[in-house]
Amino acid sequence: MKTLVANFSKQLSEAISIGEKAKLTVSESPISNVLICGLGGSGIGGSIVSELVVGNANVPINVTKGYFIPAYVGKNTLVIISSYSGNTEETINCMELAMKKGAKIVAITSGGKVLEICKQNNFDCIVVPGGMPPRACLGYSLTQLFFVLGFNKIITNDYKKELNAAINLIDNDQASIVAEAKAIADKLNGKLPVIYATTYNEGIAIRFRQQLNENAKILCWHHIIPEMNHNELVGWTQKNDDLSVLIFLDKDEYSRNLARVDINKEVIKKYANNITEIYSKGNSVIEKAIYFIHLGDWISVLLAETRGVDAVEVNVINHLKSKLSEI
């Protein structure tokens, strides 16, 4: 897993090449909304991208992480099916429902049943390299989402320039990223992480939480500012030295949110003595997101190493899928 994380920039470069060569077709009907279907490592890209393009996209973009699709899906909906293995049962069910609704379907997968359905129905499909843990292939799925949205004129083409800038950023800062990740991982060892981020960065927080779950094999939780100021902040009433708070912050964050963070820290430090602020790097939302993702991935694998656990192993998920296959 450390090797896969270390090669993230190479994966992004390869993903750009794949996206540029993708053979996509124009929708027969005008697109009035977008639905991204996917779960886990395949689905988190949808959460992140939908937030990154919120100020750019010209139609609503929603994400579903389950068996069903919204009632609004129809011929004017672009449905993006994201399943790395191509065999995610929930996503396949969404795909079949979208087909019945006559939606424009584009898939991102490495193979499996999703690829078979695409071939049978002549659907657009971007095929990415297979054989790796889905959570280690976010670079592939996230990048292809930009290309699909760009091709369908949902967003502008600036994403390619920003993706390349993000690659240069993490390549040039690799040593400092690993050093920062090691320092944070040491702080998290033996602790229960509490992850906070601001609006439109929830996908980043979720990605980090999922990586801590799957790679480091620990539980944690996340919440978003300012939403948590209307509920969770009230829950900080008991001192607990087993908690470690991490706050993801954008250097260009809205001033009112920065003020909220300062007030939140005043409250939280009375009950938790371990608070870490993690600041973004980069000049665009895509660069900042890639930086956060890469740093978080490094934290998760270095914490796994410190804890002496196998970052790749997900036996309990395999057990769940095996049991479901018997039903």
Residue 69: Cβ within 10 Å count: 22
181 has a pLDDT exceeding 90: yes
Q: Which residues contact 290 (CB under 8 A, 6 or more apart)?
A: 12, 163, 166, 167, 169, 170, 282
- Tokens at residue 179, please? 């050093």
Domain ranges of the chain: 2-156, 177-307
Q: Which CATH architecture has domain 177-307?
A: 3-Layer(aba) Sandwich (3.40)
What 3-state DSSP class applies to 4? helix
Query: Matching CATH topology for 2-156 and 177-307?
Result: yes
Residue 299: Cβ within 10 Å count: 30
Name the active-site residue from 51, 162, 214, 287.
214
Which residues sit opposite 225 in a β-bridge? 198
The tens digit of pLDDT for each residue in 267-285 reads 999 999 999 999 999 999 9
Name the active-site residue from 21, 230, 323, 326.
230
Q: Which CATH architecture has domain 2-156?
A: 3-Layer(aba) Sandwich (3.40)
Does the active-site annotation cover 214? yes
Q: Give me the DSSP letters along 204-251.
A: HHHHHHHHHHHTS----EEEEETGGGGTGGGG--S--TTEEEEEEE-T
The tens digit of pLDDT for each residue in 14-56 reads 999 999 999 999 999 999 999 999 999 999 999 999 999 999 9
Amino acid at 257: N
Q: CA-CA distance, 153 to 323, in Å (whole number)?
A: 42
Q: State the pTM of this model.
A: 0.96
The tens digit of pLDDT for each residue in 187-236 reads 999 999 999 999 999 999 999 999 999 999 999 999 999 999 999 999 99
Mean pLDDT confidence for 148-155: 98
Query: Residue 70: is the preceding peptide bond cis (ω within 30°)?
Result: no
